[in-house]
């Protein structure tokens, strides 16, 4: 293992002391992890906060086997040590990375293939807002959903980290984006990011608006994190040969669906979760992102929408912010 001499034996991490509310997130001292074969040790400067972190804190989304019990699925920082075979990176390289857990800490190990260079001009807090969101959107919108130029994407939760990313990438690759959001301010943000129409779901029927906006055709791809009664409504809003991609079930995991609608429209309803996928799968996504999306980030054609930044020891405040539902874009922890 190649390492810096300045790596301490202990680090500060924020752990889940027991399942519960935000205040169960407690700073504690832990041993600095050691990178294994193919891994790098990242000195974390910033860590993204995501809804799976909240679910893990509540005890309803346990980490996959072998992953750290600490929350935190994305980080940015610098390479502090190299495991055997991590040949691409050098000590001191600035990276952002997707992790299976452990990001709420001063150091974390990640597989070298799941790390990417910081886009030119990006701060650590901005870069920490990239991996989980961009990996998720790229796979679900462009790979599973197969969004093509000229098609229409309907994004539920358009002002979220996922939603703001999906809108920008859809438009950057020649598609039309329509978004739903829960307030006029959030709808204005979606339009500012490039959505051709933003729908306040508290005041408007998204099915009717999508039909009107597409001349009766419907959306070719729907990115849904709601589930529940949105499933049948998505079937109505979808175009013939439409693809509906499920990435969360905030409105309920059990739903009723009109299978006749699915058959007559020839719909595909698919979905995925990212965290349990293999290192190799995530590495392939990283390769695609570096080739297709990182140049757009370097020119700021797309960029993360930043909400609030909290110190690592105040991670509980970041979770409160997320659960209040008023945030737009990404919440990040400053670990430096």
For the chain, the farthest-separated pair of C-alpha atoms sits apart, in whole angstroms, at 65
Helix (H) or strand (E) holding 280: helix 279-292
List of residues 6+ apart from 216 with CB closer than 8 A: none
263 and 139 in a single domain? The answer is yes
Q: Is there a single domain that holds both residue 55 and residue 111?
A: yes
Residues 75 and 104 in one domain: yes
* CATH number reported for the structural domain that contains residue 123 in this entry: 3.90.180.10
Position 203 scores a pLDDT of 97
Query: Domain span at residue 169?
Result: 134-271
φ and ψ of 175, to 5 deg? -100, 170
pLDDT for res 1: 65
Query: CA-to-CA distance for 282 and 168, rounded, in angstroms?
Result: 22
In the chain, the number of structural domains is: 2
Residues 282 and 327 in one domain: yes
What are the tokens at 90?
């050098």
What is the pLDDT at residue 31? Answer: 98
Asked whether 332 and 125 are in contact (CB, 8 A), the reply is yes
Nearest to 222, CA basis, from 166, 171, 262: 166
What string of pLDDT tens digits covers the 336 residues of the chain? 666 658 999 999 999 999 999 999 999 999 999 999 999 999 999 999 999 999 999 999 999 999 999 999 999 999 999 999 998 999 999 999 999 999 999 999 999 999 999 999 999 999 999 999 999 999 999 999 999 999 999 999 999 999 999 999 999 999 999 999 999 999 999 999 999 999 999 999 999 999 999 999 999 999 999 999 999 999 999 999 999 999 999 999 999 999 999 999 999 999 999 999 999 999 999 999 999 999 999 999 999 999 999 999 999 999 999 999 899 999 999 998
Q: How confident is the model at residue 2, as a pLDDT?
A: 65
Look up the pTM and report it. 0.95
Which residues partner with 58 through β-bridges? none
């Amino acid at each position: 293992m190649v390492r810096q001499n300045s790596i301490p034996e202990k680090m500060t991490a924020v752990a889940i002391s027991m399942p519960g509310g935000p205040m169960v997130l407690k700073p504690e001292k832990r041993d600095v992890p050691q990178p294994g074969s193919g891994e790098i040790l990242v000195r974390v400067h910033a860590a993204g906060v995501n809804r799976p972190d909240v679910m893990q804190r509540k005890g309803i989304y346990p980490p996959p086997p072998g992953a750290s019990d600490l929350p935190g699925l994305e980080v940015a920082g610098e390479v502090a040590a190299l495991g055997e075979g991590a040949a691409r990176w050098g000590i001191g390289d600035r990276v952002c990375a997707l992790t299976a857990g452990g990001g709420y800490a001063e150091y974390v190990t990640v597989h070298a293939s799941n790390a990417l260079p910081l886009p030119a001009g990006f701060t650590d807090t901005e870069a920490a807002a990239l991996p989980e969101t961009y990996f998720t959107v790229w796979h679900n919108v462009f790979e599973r959903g197969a969004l093509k130029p000229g098609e229409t994407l309907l994004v539920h939760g358009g002002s979220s980290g996922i939603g703001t990313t999906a809108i920008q990438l859809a438009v950057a690759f020649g598609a039309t984006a329509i978004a739903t959001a829960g307030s006029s301010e959030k709808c204005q943000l979606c339009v500012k990011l490039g959505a051709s129409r933003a729908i306040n779901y508290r005041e408007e029927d998204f099915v009717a608006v999508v039909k009107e906006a597409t001349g009766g055709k419907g959306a070719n791809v729907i990115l849904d994190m709601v589930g529940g009664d949105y499933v049948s409504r998505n079937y109505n809003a979808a175009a013939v040969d439409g693809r509906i991609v499920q990435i969360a079930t905030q409105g309920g995991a059990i739903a009723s669906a009109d299978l006749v609608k699915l058959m007559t429209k020839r719909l595909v309803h698919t979905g995925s979760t990212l965290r349990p996928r293999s290192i190799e799968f995530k590495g392939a996504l990283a390769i695609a992102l570096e080739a297709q999306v990182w140049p757009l980030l370097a020119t700021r054609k797309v960029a993360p929408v930043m909400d609030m930044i909290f110190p690592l020891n105040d991670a509980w405040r970041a979770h409160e912010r997320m659960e209040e539902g008023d945030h737009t874009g990404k919440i990040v922890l400053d670990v430096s």
